[in-house]
Amino acid sequence: MADEPGRWIRRYRAAPDAAVQLVCLPHAGGAASYYRPMAMALFPSVEVLAVQYPGRQDRLDEPCFGDFAELTERTLAAVRPALDRPVALFGHSMGSLLAFEMAKRLEAEGVGPLALFASGGRPPDRPVRHSSRTVTDEELISEVAALEGTDRRLLDSEDMRVLFLPALRADYRTMATYRFDGTRLGCPLVSLTGDGDHLVTSDDAAGWAGHTSGGFDLHVFPGGHFYLTDRWDAVAEVVTRRLGAHVPTGTG
């Protein structure tokens, strides 16, 4: 079956006249809907294309991936046909590594992104390694709860656990297969992090600087691993400032 853009991409606020498209890639266990606030904050100057991985929400009946290289190739193959303007990539946590790998491939094709925004993620040479096979459901839920990115009522619901735990475990297995090949990007790279994130230290966030020759910025926000939840407008401002001349002033 072909990877049709309609199955992979959610436009929560379509902006056909926007000068730039921003592809947003979710965290492990996450879904496209996480980026709905980003789409609203950037409208109408930037069109957000939020990626929906298989195995969650309206793609629950599709198998999750278990290999990072395959996830990268399939995501890029699905997204590529929807790109009709200059594009930037934004990824959070696992999504930051996926955005990095997609940016490498786009640059190799001669259509590199305007910028890569790596949020809440360690750089490619020191990725997070989760253990999804040996921990119990309760231990996994406790780990997720500690990140403060998921409503505790959902974590305590047996019905909801059945829906999100398989995708989370699959994403952890996928991350364990990631291998960095040493390639550096040529586009600008922006690292964003929360000052209370216990998964990504300030040194980790700054470490992204060594993975591009195209300029680097670091932005530290108050909050933990999911600092974005309370700071979408501030994050959107970072995006619009970085994209500069490509985004009309006074909008976004």
Active site residues: 93
Backbone angles phi, psi at 11, to 5 degrees: -105, 95
Sign, CA torsion 124/46/222/157: negative
Pairing of strands 46-51, 9-10: antiparallel
Instruction: Say if CB 185 and CB 213 are below 8 A apart.
Output: yes
Single-letter amino acid code for the residue at 170: A
Burial 159-186 (b: 16+ CB within 10 A, else e): eebeebbbbbbbbbbbbbebeeeeeebe
User: Each residue of 195-214: b (16+ CB within 10 Å) or e?
Assistant: eebebbeeebbebbeebbeb
Question: Would you give the DSSP letter of residue 111?
Answer: -
Contact 44, 17 (CB under 8 A): yes
- Check if the beta carbon of residue 20 is closer than 8 Å to that of residue 243: yes
Tokens of 203: 């040194």
Nearest to 193 by CA among 181, 183, 204: 204
Cβ pair 102, 22 in contact under 8 A: no
From 86, 96, 164, select the one nearest 132 (Cα to Cα).
164
Tokens matching residue 25: 């890639």
